[in-house]
Structure 1
């Protein structure tokens, strides 16, 4: 670490060192015209008045997800762990869960199992989507085995996340109409 620090004209002092990395990165925001078209679309309107629980151990990912979903009328609930997510799920009326799969203590697959266990006597299970940096191929067996309803890969564009959610919520609405 001292070589890296020295190359940036820094010092390593004592046992603790703090690093400030200032790096300019390109914004992940989509072009303004694309955002306007997405807001007008049927896909985006499906989120209006939906209560979405986002479970992720990264506070930054929670903020990004909430910012994205709230633009389309969703109310977001955030949880930093599967245990906290289960608590929120049991206290609030949740319409959709976005579950990070890679979390400490209880991973997203086990978190999904815990939610499914609490709702097993309900006729209409809540859609739970994998929300992860893993590729779909890496987690597709787990998605099937743990009864997840969909997949959103991180990082995502607004169009990708809204499109994926639209598919899952549309299927749920079709099932309700058929019942």
Structure 2
């Protein structure tokens, strides 16, 4: 995801991450710091929650309301072949548990047709070959991140 660097009262508002499908996921079991989206319109409440989640070794992010939360979950770039949980399985979970239609773009160096077919069946929005070039990244941002403008 592509975090912004905005903050409200020191509370990050960069809520650009995919939802964590389950606290018992393999990543959590391996000690990864969970990303927690706090959707709260009261600055003091959001700040207190962020402090508490940081103390629990989480990475809190803030959105001021539900619409902002959904709009800030822009884009997932997903490698297909990874240990523990591959991109196919992770995308199945994201696509089946998300009401906000987060775009997921497959990234792979394995160009076999079987991968492209599987990506389509699972529901990836696109399947691209690594490495991505700068112009491809700009195109993805223009296509999937509402209102994004490139700084160059």
Please report the TM-score for the alignment, with normalisation by the length of structure 2. Answer: 0.47
Q: For the pair shown, which has the larger CA radius of gyration, 1 or 2? A: 1
Structure whose residues are more often strand by fraction: 2
Structure whose residues are more often helix by fraction: 1
